[in-house]
């Protein structure tokens, strides 16, 4: 509850439940307080058929999940001797005597079924009544995940007659509101599959989700929707599912048999770093130069001092020369350049913080794009690197 621990269990369970065609409507986190826990269990069972809990199955005083369920349902906790022996054997295998407090883990809600834990001492529990199914799982992911996969997933699969399947379309350099405006006609008519937008750092994911009886029925529905979205967005789409922008750019460079060199100022090597995150980048990225100061731009890259004096380091003219010079120095097919004001200082009324010029040269031509970003220094650098990679992608797909 203090934010020290990330709830990765909820993410994992949500993904797995979607494979079973089970809609996850609510996720809640409650502290180790009996009154609040009972209230939460009562609320959960009033609005869902299946209630899954993680954590609170250990032997200490703050492990109250089983007692909370029993208080909410007005049932008793009963000792299972067979379970007590199993817990004792678990400690014997570890070569240590079981603390008496661990016998608490052998108590189960009356009528509940236990789930064997091969990775810890806390067994899981399934309890069914006339309305709900309650599944109590241990909190540590190394115990919860194998228990769910081996025991709970097959159990729930027998109770579900559908699957939920999703694919993700990836776009960048557009606002979420503008993207929704472009896709509004599709969003208004959606039924199955559904379309949802998710803004992330530097990109927006468009998730297309279908619910059918089997995966074979889902694929045509999803593919038709993707086709409709692609007809609207076209080249704005840079990838699908697990694609990253840097992966796509690397793939296009190899596909077109082109090499690139990069001269970076305000991004400080971030574009090059992202490209080299992809294995095999050395086939395409030949050289990279961080020319942060004016002196470095002139001395190492060969940008004319007159250009820097007349137009400034952050200018269309400087970006052009940087792109041309890095290409010539490195003897690559393409030269890419980035110069800008990342902030938070250094901006003027004429050239505000967030102003950036990106240049790229190919053969005897050079192109530039003026950009204006609005954010912190770190965000401006990342957005500039994303814009540079996307401009390179758009250029490569037209070769």
pLDDT tens figures, 37-68: 999 999 999 999 999 999 999 999 999 999 99
Band of residue 347 on the pLDDT scale cut at 50, 70, 90: very high
Q: Which domains does the chain have, with CATH numbers?
A: 8-157 (3.40.980.10), 164-240 (3.30.70.600), 245-396 (3.90.950.20)
372-388: average pLDDT:
96
Cα–Cα distance measured from residue 197 to residue 93, given in angstroms and rounded to the nearest whole number: 50
Peptide bond into 193 cis (omega under 30): yes
Per cent of the chain over pLDDT 90 is 90
Query: In angstroms, how far is CA 156 from the centroid of its own chain?
Result: 26
Phi, psi dihedrals of residue 199, rounded to the nearest 5°: -80, 130
| pLDDT digit string, tens, across residues 263-274 | 999 999 999 999
| pLDDT at residue 201, as a whole number | 81
Question: Does 2 have pLDDT greater than 90?
Answer: no
How confident is the model over 99-108, as pLDDT tens digits? 999 999 999 9
pLDDT attached to residue 105: 92
> Is 217 exposed, middle or buried, given 0-12, 13-18 or 19+ CB atoms closer than 10 A?
middle
pLDDT surpassing 90 at residue 386: yes
Whole-angstrom distance, CA of residue 359 vs CA of residue 258: 17
Residue 79 has pLDDT above 90, yes or no: yes
- The distance from CA 312 to its chain's CA centroid, rounded to whole angstroms, is 39
Whether residue 124 is predicted with pLDDT greater than 90 in this model: the reply is yes
In this prediction, residue 369 carries a pLDDT of 98
Return d(Cα 341, Cα 351) in angstroms, integer. 8
Residue 161 confidence (pLDDT): 84
pLDDT of residue 282: 96
pLDDT value for 287: 95
- 125 pLDDT tier (thresholds 50, 70, 90): very high
> Percent of the chain, pLDDT > 70?
100
Predicted pLDDT at 192: 94
For residue 294, pLDDT over 90 is answered with yes
Q: Which residues pair with 287 in a beta bridge?
A: 261
Structural tokens at position 367 = 């192109």
Residue 350: phi and psi, rounded to 5, are -75, -40
The pLDDT value given to residue 4? 86
Please tell me the predicted confidence (pLDDT) of residue 19. Answer: 85
- Neighbour-count burial of 380, counting CB atoms closer than 10 A to its CB (0-12 exposed, 13-18 middle, 19+ buried): buried
pLDDT one-digit tens code per residue, 304-342 = 999 999 999 999 999 999 999 999 999 999 999 999 999
5 vs 240: which has the higher pLDDT: 240
Least confident span in 18-32, 41-55, 140-154: 18-32
Q: What is the pLDDT of residue 344?
A: 95
Average pLDDT score, the chain: 95
Q: Is the pLDDT of residue 160 over 90?
A: no
Q: How confident is the model at residue 259 (pLDDT cuts 50, 70, 90)?
A: very high
Q: What pLDDT band is residue 350 in, cutting at 50, 70 and 90?
A: very high
Q: What is the mean pLDDT of residues 150-172?
A: 93
pTM, two decimal places: 0.80
Res 163: pLDDT: 87
* pLDDT score of 295 more than 90: yes
Read off the pLDDT band of 222 (50, 70, 90): very high
Long-range pairs for 216-219 at CB < 8 Å and ≥24 separation?
Answer: 218/163, 218/165, 218/193, 219/165
Q: Is the pLDDT score of 357 beyond 90?
A: yes
More confident residue, 359 or 202: 359
Give the pLDDT confidence score for residue 6 in this predicted structure. 87
CA distance 278 to 268: 19
What per-residue confidence (pLDDT) applies to 18? Answer: 87
């Amino acid at each position: 509850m203090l934010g020290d621990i990330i709830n990765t269990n909820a993410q994992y369970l949500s993904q797995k439940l979607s494979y079973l065609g089970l809609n996850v409507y609510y996720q809640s986190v409650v502290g180790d307080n009996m009154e609040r826990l009972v209230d939460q269990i009562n609320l959960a069972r009033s609005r869902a058929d299946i209630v899954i809990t993680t954590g609170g199955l250990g032997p200490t005083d703050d492990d109250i999940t089983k007692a909370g369920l029993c208080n909410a349902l007005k049932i008793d906790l009963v000792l299972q001797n067979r379970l007590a022996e199993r817990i004792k054997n678990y400690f014997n295998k570890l070569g240590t005597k079981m603390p008496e407090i661990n016998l608490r883990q052998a108590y189960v809600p009356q009528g509940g079924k236990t789930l064997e834990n091969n990775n810890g001492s806390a067994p899981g529990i399934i309890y069914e009544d006339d309305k709900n199914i309650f599944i109590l799982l241990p909190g540590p992911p190394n115990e919860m995940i194998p228990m769910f996969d081996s025991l709970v997933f097959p159990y729930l699969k027998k109770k579900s007659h559908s699957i939920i399947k999703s694919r993700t379309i990836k776009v960048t350099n557009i606002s979420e509101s503008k993207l929704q405006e472009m896709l509004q006609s599709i969003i208004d008519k959606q039924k199955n599959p559904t379309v949802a937008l998710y803004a992330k750092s530097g990109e927006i994911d468009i998730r297309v989700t279908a619910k059918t009886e089997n995966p074979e029925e889902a694929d045509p529905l999803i593919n038709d929707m993707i086709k409709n979205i692609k007809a609207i967005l076209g080249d704005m789409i840079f990838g699908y599912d697990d694609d990253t922008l840097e992966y796509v750019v690397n793939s296009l460079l190899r596909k077109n048999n082109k090499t690139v060199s990069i001269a970076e100022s305000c991004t400080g090597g971030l574009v090059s770093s992202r490209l080299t995150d992809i294995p095999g980048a050395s086939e395409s990225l030949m050289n990279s130069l961080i020319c942060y100061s004016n002196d470095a731009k002139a001395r190492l890259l060969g940008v004319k001092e007159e250009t820097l004096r007349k137009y400034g380091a952050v200018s269309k003219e400087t970006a052009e020369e940087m792109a041309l010079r890095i290409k010539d120095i490195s003897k690559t097919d393409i030269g890419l350049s980035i110069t800008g004001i990342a902030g938070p200082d250094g901006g003027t009324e004429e050239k505000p913080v967030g102003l950036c010029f990106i240049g790229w040269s190919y053969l005897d031509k050079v192109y530039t794009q003026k950009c204006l970003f609005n954010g912190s220094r770190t965000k401006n650098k990342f957005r500039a690197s994303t814009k540079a990679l996307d401009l390179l992608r758009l250029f490569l797909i037209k070769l």
